[in-house]
Copies of this chain bind each other. A is one copy, B any other.
Amino acid sequence: MLTLVEENYIKALLHLSSKDRAMTQKEGVGTNELASFLDVKPSTVNEMLKRLKEKKLVYHEKYKKITLTDHGEAIGLTIIRKHRLWETFLCTKLEFEWDEVHDVAEQLEHVQSKKLIEKIDKFLGYPKYDPHGDPIPDHKGILPRRETKKLSLLPQGSICTVLAVSDTSKEFLNYLETLKIQIGTEIMLEEKISYDNSMKVEIEGVLTVLSKKVSENILVG
């Protein structure tokens, strides 16, 4: 059994190696990178790595990158599964908004009960995507695959549908709401402005400009 803190390290490693979305093959996380993501000091990460190595959850050689073992990755996926199922539960059953669920799900994901999570899954009707459009691993840890692209990469004139967001911070999600952007929203790319990589788009009949930062965090298909 892992401690809550160990679980958070595993989840962070999965996230930083971009495996939580079955996307790019980034593979290998640095000590400082992990430390700053978890908001602890690198020395603390080092200490924890000792224990995770003993438990055969990570590979790590001195001064080299950190990677999860298969076992570590499998555990990480069960935590991601729990997190995303709880987020879905909060939004669809308890009237939470998509910008309010993250912190609560961070706590709920550590509850240890196989039965609980399978029952929640059933109660929700076995959803494949969470309220942010992120794929939910099934009970075997398998992620549904789906083609998504950053909105920022589409050519001028494209029409696309928002499938997910890659930033789940309150600030970003709130801003999207003011833009009337949700999962499923249709976006028409009117014009790309090369000067600052921003873009002019039409959303529900309204023209707006999206910055580079915003369009990179919207995943479409």
Chain B residues with Cβ below 8 Å from A111 are 104, 107-108, 111
Contact partner of A96 among B96, B100, B119, CB < 8 A? B119
B120 touches A94 (CB 8 A): yes
- SS class of chain A's interface: helix, strand, loop or mixed? helix
A112 touches B123 (CB 8 A): no
B123 touches A113 (CB 8 A): no
B107 touches A123 (CB 8 A): no
Q: Work out how many copies of this chain go into the complex.
A: 2
Chain B residues with Cβ below 8 Å from A26 are none
A119 touches B107 (CB 8 A): no
Chain B residues with Cβ below 8 Å from A95 are 119
A145 at the interface (CB under 8 A from B): no
A115 at the interface (CB under 8 A from B): yes
B116 touches A94 (CB 8 A): yes
Chain B residues with Cβ below 8 Å from A120 are 94
Chain B proximity of A79: nearest CB distance (Å): 15
Residue interface bits A86-101, CB-to-B below 8 A is 1, else 0 = 0000100111100010
Residues on A lying within 8 angstroms of B by beta carbon are 90, 93-96, 100, 103-104, 107-108, 110-113, 115-116, 119-120, 123
**A-B contacts, 22 listed (Cβ < 8 Å):** A90-B116, A93-B123, A94-B116, A94-B119, A94-B120, A94-B123, A95-B119, A96-B115, A96-B119, A100-B115, A103-B113, A104-B111, A104-B113, A104-B115, A104-B116, A107-B110, A107-B111, A107-B112, A107-B113, A108-B108, A108-B111, A111-B111
